[in-house]
Each structure stands twice: as C-alpha cells, then as structure tokens.
Amino acid sequence: MFKGLFERFGGGNTLYYPGCLTKFALKDKQAQYEGLLKKLGVEYIKLADVEQCCGIPVLNAGYREDFERLKRKNLAIFKEYDVKRVITNCPGCCHTLKNEYGLDAVHITELLARNIGKVAAVKGGDITYHDPCHLGRWGGIYDQPRDVLRKRGFEVKELSYSRSDSMCCGGGGGLRQNDRATSDAVARNVLKNTKTKRLVTACPMCYYHLKENAQGVEVLDYSDVLKDD
C-alpha cells in the first residue's frame, strides 16, 4: 500500500482523474499513467463512467453557471464514492479541482517527485522540457518535473523562454478552437526555440497541440519518458 503523500487525510478513496483529453483522445497515455501509479504502489479508483468534465473549458469561456452545475455534479459523485484526494495528469484539471472545487488534488509530477527514489535511471540523453501554463505559472510547479527527468537520466535543455517566462503552447484558453491559424503559429514558435530533437511536456493539451505542429522535433508526453519499454 502506498504511504506518505496522503497519510494525513486518513480513510477515503484516492481518485485517478485523467481529464477529458486524456480519457477520450489519448487513451494510451492514460494507460501509461495508470502503470506509473501502480509502480509507485498507489491504490486508486477510477470513475470513468460517471465522472464529468471538470468544467475548465466552460469556465474559461465565461459560462460560470454551467461550470457550477458541472462542479455540483462532480462533487456529488465524489462524495458518493468517498473521494478524499485526486491525482491527475492534466494541469488544467488539477488547478480547477484544487482551486475551484476545494479538493486535495495533485499533479502526477508532484507525486513522482515526492517518490523520486522509485524512479529508475536510464540513458536518457538530451531533452527539452516545456512548462505548461497551468502547471507552471498557475501552479508554481517548475522543479518537480525537471528533477524527475534528471533522475530518470535526461539532460534537460531549456527553451529560450522557460519557467515563469514560458510561452503558451497555443492550444489552451480557447485559442485553438477560435483562431486555429494563430494557435498553430504560437506552437511553431515554441518548437522553433527547442534546443534538442526531443521535447517533453506534462500537459495533455500541450502534448497534443505541439505534436500536431512538430517538424523535426519529437514531441513526447511525460508518461512516454517514464514508461519501461
């Protein structure tokens, strides 16, 4: 049984909440994250058939009432299944569940960093890390993803703009849906500043959008560099 990170709560279930993009479009990444949780010894539940979207897309679009309805539905479901804490690989979901719902939610990079001794080293080589907006500027999580990458055996090379100065990938905030040309141009600008042949990010939207615009750069999800081949 996993101990340490959540001991202070006592009782209740730990929910793995992948978020909509991972659950519906990146199912292979969800499987990889679930594999990581199992290797860490985390006992978790899934509510894939009943959980709702966290609501961040409608909240960002200005539909507060619709967001509140989604929030009430999710909180009722979480209460029914005695969910006391949430692990997610989506920075947007993590921010929303923590700050809008008032739940104890952690991003999976935090969990990995707190259990860094369980991260096996490989010959990783050079890699560039892209800071997702919700994880970095909104969540203040900068060192943890990098520490885990270095423990894994990677030499992290920074983008020209990184950490608190990191550029958005162009896929979030509704830009991709409303102005695809500008959204793609932003992504290509990020990729142009990549100093290695590989770029990794810890956000499903950043991964999905950057990968679609990548030319000459291999874009990886965080789970890709931690899985065992």
CATH no. for residue 138? 3.40.50
Per-residue pLDDT of the chain (229 residues; tens, 9 = 90+): 334 444 434 568 999 999 999 999 999 999 999 999 999 999 999 998 899 999 999 998 899 999 999 999 999 999 999 999 999 999 999 999 999 999 999 999 999 999 999 999 998 999 999 999 999 999 999 999 999 999 999 999 999 899 999 999 988 887 787 889 999 999 999 999 998 999 999 999 999 999 999 989 999 999 999 988 6
Q: Report the chain's C-alpha Rg in angstroms.
A: 17
CATH no. for residue 33? 3.40.50.1860
Structure tokens at 82: 């005695």
Q: pLDDT, tens digit, for every residue of 176-205?
A: 878 899 999 999 999 999 989 999 999 999
The structure's pTM equals 0.92
Structure tokens at 8: 């202070």
* Domain enclosing residue 45, as ranges: 13-112
Q: What is the pLDDT of residue 39?
A: 93
Same domain (yes/no): 21, 52: yes
Structure tokens at 108: 């999976």
Same domain (yes/no): 74, 104: yes
Same domain (yes/no): 133, 102: no
Q: What is the pLDDT of residue 172?
A: 82
Structure tokens at 192: 């142009």
Domain boundary among 46, 77, 112: 112
Question: Looking at the domain assignment, is residue 160 inside a domain?
Answer: yes
Q: What is the pLDDT of residue 5?
A: 47
DSSP 115-135: TGGGPPP---EEEEEE--TTT
Split into its structural domains, the chain has a count of 2
Structure tokens at 157: 């090379």
Domain boundary among 81, 112, 143: 112
Q: What is the pLDDT of residue 96?
A: 97
Same domain (yes/no): 125, 173: yes
Give whole-number Cα distances, 162 to 6, 168, 179, 217, 219, in Å: 31, 10, 24, 17, 16
Same domain (yes/no): 86, 126: no
Same domain (yes/no): 140, 202: yes
Same domain (yes/no): 141, 76: no
Same domain (yes/no): 100, 138: no
Question: Looking at the domain assignment, is residue 6 inside a domain?
Answer: no
Same domain (yes/no): 103, 127: no
